[in-house]
Amino acid sequence: EIVLTQSPGTLSLSPGESATLSCRASQSVSSSYLAWYQQKPGQAPRLLIYGASSRATGIPDRFSGSGSGTDFTLTISRLEPEDFAVYYCQQYSTFGQGTRLEIK
Amino acid sequence: QVQLVESGGGLVKPGGSLRLSCAASGFTFSDYYMSWIRQAPGKGLEWVSYISSSSSYTNYADSVKGRFTISRDNAKNSLYLQMNSLRAEDTAVYYCARVGPRGVNKLGLDAFDIWGQGTMVTVSS
């Protein structure tokens, strides 16, 4: 079974800065099926990125995804106050443990 | 608009049963794989089960295999999760989610592109 490890566990940044979140797979996975989600407190997760780099409908272009094989990255440029949340990567039936992005 | 609405959660004793429902609207339900995903309080996301568009294929997490059953009624645009022999560790918010248009194949499971608001299941004596 594939394990997805996200780092860092918590990232503290200020609005306007850029965030780089990592998702590492225990073995090579298809980038076509690597997704990223955002979850705010008390809300359901929301799909941000699918196929490692394609933005879901309505997702601002400050969110971008990249990577292949075992290493994937979610980059959020020009952080807005509403971007502070927990982010999960997912491949098949496995989710990473999440990265909490908090306001510094 | 595209929407998923779960219902059926509640408090149940260990060993008990519960049936969750998910009502879909705004899209052609019968075209999509569907899934259940759960989140224990303060924890991350855990995939529970998925079902193919025609109910031909189902798959379950090892943690629920043999206890939970996923089903759907395309005529009613509804997804279900029958949960038996419930345990304290099944306590979680249960989300219904749509699997993206590529569904499931040997390369992977498409992203969960639409989520419901979730329904809370508490297993406690």
Q: Which stretches of chain B score pLDDT less than 70?
A: none
Q: List pLDDT tens digits, range A16-75.
A: 999 999 999 999 999 999 999 999 999 999 999 999 999 999 999 999 999 999 999 999
Please state, rounded to an integer, the average pLDDT across all residues of chain A.
97
Query: Would you state the pLDDT for residue A62?
Result: 97
DSSP B88-120: GGG-EEEEEEEEPTT-EETTEE--EEEE---EE
Contact B112 A91 (CB under 8 A): no
- The per-residue pLDDT for B106 is 81
Place A104 in a pLDDT band, splitting at 50, 70 and 90: very high
d(CA B120, CA B125) in angstroms, rounded, equals 16
Q: Please answer whether residues B118 and B101 qualify as being in contact, where contact means their C-beta atoms are separated by less than 8 angstroms.
A: no
pLDDT value at residue B67: 98
**CB-CB contact of B34 with B98 (8 Å):** yes
In chain B, what residues touch A95 (CB-CB under 8 Å)? 44-47
- Of A85, A101, A97, the residue nearest A24 (C-alpha): A97
CB contacts < 8 A (A, B): 60
Q: Cβ neighbours of residue B105 under 8 Å, at least 6 residues apart?
A: none
The contacts of residue B60 (CB under 8 Å, 6+ apart) are: B48, B49, B68, B70
Instruction: Using an 8 Å CB-CB cutoff, list chain B residues near A47.
Output: 111-115
A93-103 confidence digits (pLDDT tens): 999 999 999 99
Of all residues in chain B, the one with the smallest CA distance to A55 is B113
Contact B44 A98 (CB under 8 A): yes
Specify the pLDDT at position B105.
85
Q: Are the beta carbons of B45 and A32 separated by less than 8 Å? A: no
Give A 42-101 residues with CB within 8 A of chain B. 43-47, 50-51, 56, 88, 90-98
Separation in Å, CA of B113 to nearest CA in chain A? 6
Q: Are A6 and A91 in contact (CB under 8 A)?
A: no
Residue carrying structure tokens 């994937």:
A72
* Among B67, B30, B66, CA closest to B51: B30
Q: How far is B100 from chain A (nearest CA, A)?
A: 9
In this complex, the residue of A30, A47, A97 whose CB is nearest that of residue B108 is: A30
Q: What is the pLDDT of residue B107?
A: 77
Residue among B21, B50, B20 at smallest CA distance from B122: B20
